[in-house]
Amino acid sequence: METLSETGAFGGVQGVYRHASDACGCDMTFAVYLPPAARAGPVPVLWYLSGLTCTHENAMTKAGAQGWAAEAGIALIFPDTSPRGEGVANDEAYDLGQGAGFYVNATEAPWAPHFRMWDYVVTELPELVFDRFPLDRARQGITGHSMGGHGALTIAMTHPQTYRSVSAISPIAHPAASDWGRKQFTAYLGPDESTWAPHDATLLMRDRGYPGPVLIDQGAADQFLHLLTPQALIEAAADRGQPCEFRMLAGYDHSYFYVSSVMEHHVRWHSAQLALVAVA
């Protein structure tokens, strides 16, 4: 693991690192924010998964999470959104290929050799960061924006014993029924829609739910609301009596101005949930 930068931020350290990823078969860059409390011992972790076209950098610089994380004594991890590099498949569209990994393990050509973002985020990167940083493995939460909200919800519902709190900001809530999803799942996973179901938050909510409360935030003026369809997810949640909080906030679009506006609520949500985890 190579340190690209380490910078003081809100009394802690914002670092950017690069490593050779086995899962993705290329070098991957990620960012970690350690709050001041990490100097005294392992701190809880909030994974932040980013949206289409983003790298590790967008949320790190624009989501405004570090101040709240410092206050809460919680670390932030910002993975990249796809494999990258000259030998990695790509597409001219902004919503397929590099910058658009959708947090799945691709099985189809030409994507299968590198596009294994599920394994990268769920298995490989955790092993690395828990080995290198003072992080409490028993207290992990996960959140994300847009495509990253999709990733956070699907990963948390699949591994609820690992991710003990979950939230999403403007998530792609039902990709199997959206143009943000059907195209990419067809490309990465093939036309058999049964392989898509484990990667659709609404279908997972109908099938299993989540053992704790789920926070979903959505801007009412979001220009992509018709592609995000939070109503499908919330309906599925209410149908099963899933503890949840859904907010549709007036005047906000899909940008980081919105993400940063709700970040305090999300960091505090995760901090409160992770404080309830009973550790043996």
Pick the closer one to a second copy by CB: 12 or 209: 209
In angstroms, what is the minimal distance from the CB of 253 to a second copy?
Answer: 11
Task: With contacts defined by CB under 8 A, name the span among 15-23, 180-188, 196-204, 224-232 that binds a second copy.
Answer: 224-232
Task: With contacts defined by CB under 8 A, name the span among 103-111, 126-134, 175-183, 244-252 that binds a second copy.
Answer: 244-252
Active site residue 222: yes
In angstroms, what is the minimal distance from the CB of 238 to a second copy?
Answer: 3
In angstroms, what is the minimal distance from the CB of 71 to a second copy?
Answer: 21
Select the residue interacting with a second copy from 158, 162, 231, 260 (CB under 8 A): 231
3-state secondary structure labels for all residues of the chain: CEEEEEEEECCEEEEEEEEEECCCCEEEEEEEEECHHHHCCCEEEEEEECCCCCCCHHHHHHCCCHHHHHHHCCEEEECCCCCCCCCCCCCCCCCCECCECCCCECCCCCCCCCCEHHHHHHHHHHHHHHHHCCEEEEEEEEEEECHHHHHHHHHHHHCCCCEEEEEEECCCCCHHHCCCCHHHHHHHHCCCHHHCHHHCHHHHHHHCCCCCCEEEEEECCCCCHHHHCHHHHHHHHHHCCCCEEEEEECCCCCCHHHHHHHHHHHHHHHHHHHHCCCCC
Pick the closer one to a second copy by CB: 138 or 225: 225
Pick the closer one to a second copy by CB: 59 or 227: 227
| Residue carrying structure tokens 């983003």 | 54
| 244 touches a second copy by CB under 8 A | yes
Select the residue interacting with a second copy from 245, 257, 272, 276 (CB under 8 A): 245
| 221 touches a second copy by CB under 8 A | yes
Catalytic residue among 82, 146, 165, 178: 146
| 246 touches a second copy by CB under 8 A | yes
Binding site for a second copy (CB under 8 A): 212-213, 218, 220-222, 225, 230-231, 234-235, 237-239, 241-250
- Known catalytic residues are 146, 222, 254
